[in-house]
Amino acid sequence: MSRGRVRTVLEMIKFEHSVFALPFALTGALLAARATRHNWPTLRQILWIVVAMVAARSAAMTMNRIVDLRYDRENPRTKQRALVTGALTVGFAWLFTLVALAVFFVAAWQLNPLALKLAPLAIVILFFYSFTKRFTNWSHLFLGFALGISPAAAWIAITGTLDWRMVILCAAVTLWVGGFDVLYACQDIAYDQEAGLFSIPKRFGIARALLIGRGMHIGVIALLSWLALSFGLPWPAWAGIAVVAALLAYEHSLVRADDLSKLDAAFFAVNGYISILFLLFWGAAAAFWHV
Protein backbone atom coordinates (compact mmCIF):
# COMPACT_ATOMS: atom_id res chain seq x y z
CA MET A 1 0.00 0.00 0.00
CA SER A 2 1.41 3.38 -1.00
CA ARG A 3 2.12 6.12 1.52
CA GLY A 4 -0.66 8.26 0.03
CA ARG A 5 -3.17 5.42 0.36
CA VAL A 6 -2.15 4.87 3.96
CA ARG A 7 -2.77 8.56 4.66
CA THR A 8 -6.19 8.28 3.03
CA VAL A 9 -7.11 5.28 5.19
CA LEU A 10 -5.91 7.04 8.35
CA GLU A 11 -7.99 10.06 7.41
CA MET A 12 -11.05 7.88 6.80
CA ILE A 13 -10.89 6.37 10.29
CA LYS A 14 -9.73 9.66 11.88
CA PHE A 15 -6.82 7.78 13.41
CA GLU A 16 -5.61 10.79 15.36
CA HIS A 17 -8.87 10.79 17.32
CA SER A 18 -7.82 7.53 18.99
CA VAL A 19 -6.36 9.87 21.62
CA PHE A 20 -9.90 10.57 22.86
CA ALA A 21 -10.69 7.14 24.31
CA LEU A 22 -7.31 5.44 24.65
CA PRO A 23 -6.08 7.45 27.69
CA PHE A 24 -9.27 6.54 29.58
CA ALA A 25 -8.75 2.87 28.74
CA LEU A 26 -5.17 3.08 29.98
CA THR A 27 -6.41 4.77 33.16
CA GLY A 28 -8.76 1.84 33.68
CA ALA A 29 -5.84 -0.53 33.21
CA LEU A 30 -3.69 1.35 35.75
CA LEU A 31 -6.47 1.39 38.35
CA ALA A 32 -7.14 -2.32 37.81
CA ALA A 33 -3.53 -3.38 38.29
CA ARG A 34 -2.96 -1.14 41.31
CA ALA A 35 -6.27 -1.98 43.02
CA THR A 36 -6.18 -5.75 42.55
CA ARG A 37 -2.50 -6.62 42.36
CA HIS A 38 -0.81 -3.61 43.99
CA ASN A 39 1.36 -3.53 40.90
CA TRP A 40 1.44 -2.14 37.37
CA PRO A 41 0.14 -3.58 34.09
CA THR A 42 2.74 -5.52 32.14
CA LEU A 43 4.04 -4.14 28.86
CA ARG A 44 2.42 -7.11 27.14
CA GLN A 45 -0.99 -6.22 28.58
CA ILE A 46 -0.63 -2.56 27.62
CA LEU A 47 0.42 -3.53 24.09
CA TRP A 48 -2.60 -5.77 23.50
CA ILE A 49 -4.99 -3.25 25.07
CA VAL A 50 -3.71 -0.57 22.68
CA VAL A 51 -3.95 -2.97 19.72
CA ALA A 52 -7.50 -3.96 20.69
CA MET A 53 -8.60 -0.35 21.14
CA VAL A 54 -7.15 0.89 17.85
CA ALA A 55 -8.43 -2.12 15.89
CA ALA A 56 -11.96 -1.91 17.33
CA ARG A 57 -12.16 1.81 16.74
CA SER A 58 -10.81 1.47 13.18
CA ALA A 59 -13.45 -1.15 12.38
CA ALA A 60 -16.21 0.97 13.91
CA MET A 61 -15.18 4.16 12.11
CA THR A 62 -14.97 2.36 8.77
CA MET A 63 -18.38 0.78 9.30
CA ASN A 64 -19.74 4.22 10.11
CA ARG A 65 -18.43 5.55 6.80
CA ILE A 66 -19.95 2.61 4.90
CA VAL A 67 -23.34 2.94 6.60
CA ASP A 68 -23.43 6.73 6.20
CA LEU A 69 -22.15 6.85 2.62
CA ARG A 70 -25.43 8.19 1.27
CA TYR A 71 -25.47 11.02 3.82
CA ASP A 72 -21.78 11.78 3.32
CA ARG A 73 -22.49 12.27 -0.40
CA GLU A 74 -25.29 14.75 0.32
CA ASN A 75 -23.82 16.71 3.23
CA PRO A 76 -21.63 19.62 2.01
CA ARG A 77 -19.36 19.18 5.05
CA THR A 78 -18.53 15.55 4.20
CA LYS A 79 -18.40 15.49 0.40
CA GLN A 80 -14.60 15.18 0.39
CA ARG A 81 -14.47 11.96 2.38
CA ALA A 82 -12.60 9.09 0.74
CA LEU A 83 -15.55 6.81 -0.03
CA VAL A 84 -17.48 9.71 -1.53
CA THR A 85 -14.70 10.87 -3.83
CA GLY A 86 -13.70 7.33 -4.80
CA ALA A 87 -10.23 7.62 -3.28
CA LEU A 88 -11.17 4.39 -1.50
CA THR A 89 -13.75 1.87 -2.70
CA VAL A 90 -16.56 0.40 -0.61
CA GLY A 91 -15.07 -3.04 -1.24
CA PHE A 92 -11.76 -1.91 0.24
CA ALA A 93 -13.62 -0.45 3.23
CA TRP A 94 -15.33 -3.79 3.90
CA LEU A 95 -12.02 -5.64 3.62
CA PHE A 96 -10.35 -3.16 5.97
CA THR A 97 -13.20 -3.61 8.47
CA LEU A 98 -12.81 -7.40 8.43
CA VAL A 99 -9.05 -7.18 8.91
CA ALA A 100 -9.47 -4.73 11.81
CA LEU A 101 -12.03 -7.06 13.40
CA ALA A 102 -9.64 -10.01 13.06
CA VAL A 103 -6.87 -8.03 14.76
CA PHE A 104 -9.28 -7.01 17.55
CA PHE A 105 -10.31 -10.60 18.26
CA VAL A 106 -6.68 -11.73 18.28
CA ALA A 107 -5.87 -9.00 20.80
CA ALA A 108 -8.82 -10.01 23.00
CA TRP A 109 -7.69 -13.65 22.81
CA GLN A 110 -4.20 -12.61 23.90
CA LEU A 111 -5.56 -10.81 26.97
CA ASN A 112 -7.81 -13.33 28.77
CA PRO A 113 -10.87 -15.59 28.26
CA LEU A 114 -13.44 -13.07 29.51
CA ALA A 115 -12.09 -10.38 27.18
CA LEU A 116 -12.51 -12.78 24.26
CA LYS A 117 -16.01 -13.83 25.33
CA LEU A 118 -17.16 -10.20 25.55
CA ALA A 119 -15.43 -9.09 22.33
CA PRO A 120 -18.50 -9.74 20.12
CA LEU A 121 -20.69 -7.66 22.45
CA ALA A 122 -18.20 -4.79 22.25
CA ILE A 123 -18.35 -4.89 18.44
CA VAL A 124 -22.16 -4.91 18.46
CA ILE A 125 -22.15 -1.79 20.65
CA LEU A 126 -19.60 -0.03 18.44
CA PHE A 127 -21.42 -0.85 15.21
CA PHE A 128 -24.89 -0.09 16.56
CA TYR A 129 -24.05 3.59 17.04
CA SER A 130 -23.87 4.12 13.27
CA PHE A 131 -27.64 3.51 12.99
CA THR A 132 -28.88 5.49 15.99
CA LYS A 133 -29.05 8.90 14.33
CA ARG A 134 -31.83 7.45 12.15
CA PHE A 135 -34.27 7.00 15.03
CA THR A 136 -33.22 8.90 18.19
CA ASN A 137 -32.20 12.41 19.14
CA TRP A 138 -29.86 10.93 21.75
CA SER A 139 -27.45 9.24 19.37
CA HIS A 140 -24.71 11.37 20.98
CA LEU A 141 -24.99 9.27 24.13
CA PHE A 142 -24.77 6.05 22.11
CA LEU A 143 -21.51 7.35 20.66
CA GLY A 144 -20.38 8.25 24.16
CA PHE A 145 -21.21 4.78 25.43
CA ALA A 146 -19.32 3.17 22.53
CA LEU A 147 -16.18 4.93 23.76
CA GLY A 148 -17.25 4.82 27.40
CA ILE A 149 -16.96 1.05 27.65
CA SER A 150 -13.20 1.31 27.09
CA PRO A 151 -12.17 1.69 30.78
CA ALA A 152 -14.30 -1.31 31.76
CA ALA A 153 -12.83 -3.29 28.88
CA ALA A 154 -9.32 -2.40 30.05
CA TRP A 155 -10.15 -3.45 33.63
CA ILE A 156 -11.36 -6.80 32.29
CA ALA A 157 -8.21 -7.09 30.17
CA ILE A 158 -6.04 -6.73 33.27
CA THR A 159 -8.03 -8.72 35.84
CA GLY A 160 -10.38 -11.03 33.96
CA THR A 161 -13.20 -9.61 36.11
CA LEU A 162 -15.12 -6.30 36.40
CA ASP A 163 -15.37 -3.92 39.35
CA TRP A 164 -18.63 -1.94 39.68
CA ARG A 165 -16.66 1.29 40.10
CA MET A 166 -15.63 1.12 36.45
CA VAL A 167 -19.27 1.80 35.63
CA ILE A 168 -18.73 5.28 37.10
CA LEU A 169 -15.79 5.96 34.78
CA CYS A 170 -17.74 4.50 31.84
CA ALA A 171 -20.60 6.90 32.61
CA ALA A 172 -18.18 9.83 32.86
CA VAL A 173 -16.62 9.06 29.47
CA THR A 174 -20.11 8.56 27.99
CA LEU A 175 -21.20 12.03 29.10
CA TRP A 176 -17.89 13.60 28.08
CA VAL A 177 -18.04 12.25 24.54
CA GLY A 178 -21.79 12.76 24.28
CA GLY A 179 -21.43 16.37 25.39
CA PHE A 180 -18.81 17.35 22.85
CA ASP A 181 -20.64 15.41 20.12
CA VAL A 182 -23.70 17.56 20.83
CA LEU A 183 -21.53 20.62 20.20
CA TYR A 184 -20.11 19.12 17.01
CA ALA A 185 -23.59 18.23 15.72
CA CYS A 186 -24.64 21.88 15.84
CA GLN A 187 -22.91 22.48 12.50
CA ASP A 188 -25.07 19.82 10.78
CA ILE A 189 -28.46 21.00 11.99
CA ALA A 190 -29.59 22.23 8.56
CA TYR A 191 -28.60 18.99 6.85
CA ASP A 192 -30.16 16.84 9.58
CA GLN A 193 -33.45 18.66 9.07
CA GLU A 194 -33.27 18.12 5.31
CA ALA A 195 -32.25 14.45 5.51
CA GLY A 196 -34.60 13.47 8.33
CA LEU A 197 -31.81 12.55 10.73
CA PHE A 198 -32.11 13.00 14.48
CA SER A 199 -29.94 14.99 16.87
CA ILE A 200 -30.22 17.09 20.00
CA PRO A 201 -29.47 20.36 18.12
CA LYS A 202 -32.19 19.56 15.59
CA ARG A 203 -34.72 18.70 18.31
CA PHE A 204 -33.99 21.52 20.76
CA GLY A 205 -32.19 24.17 18.72
CA ILE A 206 -28.56 25.22 19.02
CA ALA A 207 -28.90 27.37 22.15
CA ARG A 208 -30.60 24.64 24.18
CA ALA A 209 -28.29 22.00 22.74
CA LEU A 210 -25.31 23.94 24.08
CA LEU A 211 -26.95 24.00 27.51
CA ILE A 212 -27.55 20.24 27.35
CA GLY A 213 -23.90 19.72 26.41
CA ARG A 214 -22.82 21.82 29.38
CA GLY A 215 -25.10 19.80 31.66
CA MET A 216 -23.49 16.58 30.43
CA HIS A 217 -20.04 17.95 31.17
CA ILE A 218 -21.02 19.06 34.65
CA GLY A 219 -22.09 15.45 35.12
CA VAL A 220 -18.60 14.35 34.04
CA ILE A 221 -16.99 16.29 36.89
CA ALA A 222 -19.49 14.92 39.42
CA LEU A 223 -18.85 11.34 38.27
CA LEU A 224 -15.06 11.70 38.30
CA SER A 225 -15.27 13.09 41.83
CA TRP A 226 -17.39 10.11 42.88
CA LEU A 227 -14.87 7.76 41.28
CA ALA A 228 -11.91 9.37 43.05
CA LEU A 229 -13.75 9.10 46.38
CA SER A 230 -14.76 5.48 45.78
CA PHE A 231 -11.14 4.45 45.21
CA GLY A 232 -9.72 6.80 47.85
CA LEU A 233 -7.31 8.29 45.32
CA PRO A 234 -4.69 10.86 46.43
CA TRP A 235 -4.39 14.52 45.47
CA PRO A 236 -3.16 14.16 41.83
CA ALA A 237 -6.54 12.67 40.90
CA TRP A 238 -8.32 15.72 42.30
CA ALA A 239 -5.88 18.05 40.53
CA GLY A 240 -6.69 16.17 37.32
CA ILE A 241 -10.41 16.67 37.88
CA ALA A 242 -9.82 20.40 38.36
CA VAL A 243 -7.83 20.55 35.10
CA VAL A 244 -10.57 18.67 33.24
CA ALA A 245 -13.20 21.04 34.65
CA ALA A 246 -11.19 24.09 33.57
CA LEU A 247 -10.67 22.74 30.05
CA LEU A 248 -14.36 21.84 29.68
CA ALA A 249 -15.29 25.36 30.77
CA TYR A 250 -12.85 26.75 28.20
CA GLU A 251 -14.29 24.46 25.53
CA HIS A 252 -17.78 25.78 26.12
CA SER A 253 -16.55 29.37 26.14
CA LEU A 254 -15.38 28.89 22.53
CA VAL A 255 -18.84 28.03 21.21
CA ARG A 256 -21.92 30.24 21.16
CA ALA A 257 -25.30 29.76 19.53
CA ASP A 258 -24.57 32.62 17.12
CA ASP A 259 -20.90 31.75 16.54
CA LEU A 260 -19.70 28.20 15.78
CA SER A 261 -16.51 29.34 14.06
CA LYS A 262 -14.27 27.94 16.81
CA LEU A 263 -16.03 24.58 16.93
CA ASP A 264 -13.10 22.64 15.49
CA ALA A 265 -10.76 24.03 18.14
CA ALA A 266 -13.22 23.07 20.86
CA PHE A 267 -13.77 19.59 19.45
CA PHE A 268 -10.28 18.49 18.44
CA ALA A 269 -7.65 20.36 20.42
CA VAL A 270 -9.31 20.81 23.80
CA ASN A 271 -10.69 17.28 24.05
CA GLY A 272 -7.32 15.84 23.09
CA TYR A 273 -5.72 17.77 25.93
CA ILE A 274 -8.43 16.64 28.34
CA SER A 275 -7.89 12.94 27.70
CA ILE A 276 -4.08 13.08 27.80
CA LEU A 277 -3.89 15.25 30.91
CA PHE A 278 -6.46 13.06 32.64
CA LEU A 279 -4.23 10.03 32.06
CA LEU A 280 -1.14 11.88 33.31
CA PHE A 281 -2.76 13.15 36.52
CA TRP A 282 -4.53 9.88 37.32
CA GLY A 283 -1.40 7.93 36.43
CA ALA A 284 0.41 10.05 39.02
CA ALA A 285 -2.41 9.37 41.48
CA ALA A 286 -1.98 5.64 40.90
CA ALA A 287 1.74 5.99 41.64
CA PHE A 288 1.08 7.82 44.94
CA TRP A 289 -1.83 5.55 45.85
CA HIS A 290 -1.34 3.41 48.95
CA VAL A 291 -3.49 0.35 48.27
Cross-strand pairs, 259 = 256
Average pLDDT over residues 252-270: 81
- What's the pTM value of the predicted model, to 2 decimals? 0.94
Percent of the chain's residues with pLDDT above 70: 95
pLDDT digits (tens, 9 = 90+) for 268-291: 788 889 999 999 999 999 999 987
Q: How far apart are CA 287 and CA 253, in angstroms?
A: 33
Cα-Cα-Cα-Cα torsion 212, 261, 181, 50, nearest 10 degrees, comes to -140
Q: Indicate the helix (H) or strand (E) that contains 38.
A: none
Q: How far apart are CA 84 and CA 71, in angstroms?
A: 10
* pLDDT score at 16: 63
**In the structure, what pLDDT confidence band is assigned to residue 167 with cuts at 50, 70 and 90?**
very high
Q: Residue 89, CB half-sphere, CA atoms under 13 Å: how many?
A: 3
Q: What is the DSSP string of 242-286?
A: HHHHHHHHHHHHT-BTTB-TTHHIIIIIIHHHHHHHHHHHHHHHH
**In the structure, what pLDDT confidence band is assigned to residue 222 with cuts at 50, 70 and 90?**
very high
Residue 164 has pLDDT above 80, yes or no: yes
Which domains are assigned to the chain? Answer: 17-288 (1.10.357.140)
Average pLDDT over residues 91-99: 95
**In the structure, what pLDDT confidence band is assigned to residue 10 with cuts at 50, 70 and 90?**
low
pLDDT digits (tens, 9 = 90+) for 18-62: 677 899 999 999 999 999 988 999 999 999 999 999 999 999 999
* pLDDT score at 2: 63
pLDDT digits (tens, 9 = 90+) for 126-152: 999 999 999 999 999 999 999 999 999
Percent of the chain's residues with pLDDT above 90: 79
Report the chain's mean pLDDT, rounded to a whole number: 92
